[in-house]
Amino acid sequence: MSETMGTRIIDVYLLAAKQEEQMCQKHLKPVIRNSQFPIELHSDFDIPAGEEVEKYKARLYDSEIVLSFISVDYLDSDDCHIRTQKVIQRYNEGKTILLPILARNCLWRSTPFVDLQVVPDNLQPINNKQYWNSEDDALTEVANEICEAINSFQITKDDKGHPVVHDQLMRNVPSDIVQDTLQGDTAHQDSLKPSINSNWRNTYYKRAGWKRLQAFLLDIILTLSLILLLLFPIRYLAKDMIEHQKELYHAGELVFSLDLFLFNFILYILPLLLYVTFCALLEASKWRGTYGKKILKLQITEIDGSRTPFIKALWRNILKILIGGLWVFIPMDFFYFYESTQFYIPLSLALVGLGMQAWYFAKTRKLLHDRITKTVVGEKLKA
């Protein structure tokens, strides 16, 4: 906080990933004009000419209010994470107000921001085209709520004369309690504000990764199992051909025929094709996700929040099968699993694919098929 001719000026810093630059620079002028206090706005995107970049960005740690524009890129950014850790420490010490803004849908409920009052109040990200008529409508609503947050905060001084910020909106407590605590009961003041963990990132990725794995396993159980069940009568009716082909195989007389190819196609290739197509249809529908994701309250969208087209959803699911290594369980001949000595071949190849996905996720915090198709997995939203 700075002072000009005795007037208190509120320092507000916009902390966001570079993908949110345009969003951060919209609709904030009315907030500045309508605030009951003079506001000085800072961000990484509007550094005045001649200023030292790092020195200017350090103003983040002196600001009374930090507006964090939460998105998957914000959570993935190492720079945003390091700076957020320091902001959270200041928040825990009562030196700043941290106001999370849902810029784009992501798994934000696995982050420390879930303990804070989030903007917009309806928990609809700014880019959610399913809810907002336009991005302008969303940003206008956000601007109004930011204005309320700024007007509701107060500044007192501790025993050492250091400024301590208070905000009734962020703490969700009655105004009379806030006024009582502003009289100097520091212990009570600290108890009002939820303390959040600054070392949250590893926990976030574990929760997010485990949740997505659960959704995938549910899809396998519910979707692929159903398809295999429907195809089971075909295999039962052809059991005589299966036994005959086994005899030829062990006698060394196996001859590939059209019947054998069609049977392999029906029992192995067709289920996977039906699986990826069915998943793509669900992801491109108003559900925006498969059964597993719906149960775990996840959804898949484009980066801008719109519904994923069917062709892209289909390509995404094909990539998931190819990269994940599940395709190797399609036998080169019908008896892939009848020889136990051959079982390690598809199993090893599948583990290689899964290992590659795990390595890429650990490195970039995204799965390969999401990165290639530029899709985002986030929390399930209500229209």
Q: Which domains are delineated in the chain?
A: 2-198 (3.40.50), 202-379 (no CATH)
Question: Contacts for 154-163 with beta carbons within 8 Å, 24 or more apart?
Answer: 154/178, 154/182, 155/1, 155/8, 155/64, 156/182, 156/184, 158/186, 159/186, 162/95, 163/1, 163/64, 163/95
> Across-strand partners of 98?
66
**pLDDT tens by residue, 303-338:** 888 999 999 999 999 998 888 776 666 654 444 445
Q: What is the mean pLDDT of residues 147-167?
A: 58
User: Is the pLDDT reported for residue 154 higher than 90?
Assistant: no
Dig out the tokens for 71 from the structure: 């998105």
3-state helix/strand/coil string of 33-89? HHCCCCEEEEECCCCCCCCCHHHHHHHHHHCCEEEEEECHHHHHCHHHHHHHHHHHH
CA separation for the pair 276, 313 (Å, rounded): 9
> Across-strand partners of 7?
4
**pLDDT tens by residue, 5-27:** 345 678 889 999 998 888 887 66
Q: What is the pLDDT of residue 334?
A: 44
Q: What is the pLDDT of residue 35?
A: 67
Q: What is the pLDDT of residue 376?
A: 92
User: Is the pLDDT reported for residue 223 higher than 90?
Assistant: no
CA separation for the pair 51, 41 (Å, rounded): 15
Q: What is the pLDDT of residue 171?
A: 40
C-beta of residue 204 within 8 angstroms of C-beta of residue 110: yes
Q: What is the mean pLDDT of residues 198-217?
A: 86
C-beta of residue 140 within 8 angstroms of C-beta of residue 27: yes
CA separation for the pair 67, 13 (Å, rounded): 6
C-beta of residue 196 within 8 angstroms of C-beta of residue 115: yes
Share of the chain above pLDDT 70, in %: 69
Burial group, residue 160, by CB count within 10 angstroms (0-12, 13-18, 19+): exposed
In the structure, what pLDDT confidence band is assigned to residue 139 with cuts at 50, 70 and 90?
A: confident
User: Is the pLDDT reported for residue 60 higher than 70?
Assistant: yes
> Across-strand partners of 299?
378
Residue appearing with tokens 């009562």: 94
Dig out the tokens for 309 from the structure: 């087209």
Q: What is the pLDDT of residue 233?
A: 77
**pLDDT tens by residue, 162-185:** 545 555 444 443 334 334 444 444
CA of 158: how far to CAs of 7, 10, 161, in Å? 20, 18, 5
In the structure, what pLDDT confidence band is assigned to residue 40 with cuts at 50, 70 and 90?
A: confident
Q: What is the pLDDT of residue 47?
A: 83
Of the segments 26-30, 139-143, 223-227, which one has the largest average pLDDT value? 139-143
**pLDDT tens by residue, 260-293:** 666 667 777 788 888 899 999 999 999 999 999 9
Q: What is the pLDDT of residue 301?
A: 93
C-beta of residue 290 within 8 angstroms of C-beta of residue 282: yes
User: Is the pLDDT reported for residue 1 higher than 60?
Assistant: no
In the structure, what pLDDT confidence band is assigned to residue 187 with cuts at 50, 70 and 90?
A: very low
Who's near 312: CB < 8 A, 6+ residues apart?
373, 375
Q: What is the pLDDT of residue 34?
A: 67
Residue 307 DSSP code? B
Looking at every residue in the chain, the average pLDDT score rounds to: 78
In the structure, what pLDDT confidence band is assigned to residue 84 with cuts at 50, 70 and 90?
A: very high
Q: What is the pLDDT of residue 340?
A: 47
Q: What is the pLDDT of residue 365?
A: 74
Q: What is the pLDDT of residue 372?
A: 93
Q: What is the pLDDT of residue 307?
A: 92
Q: What is the mean pLDDT of residues 55-69?
A: 92
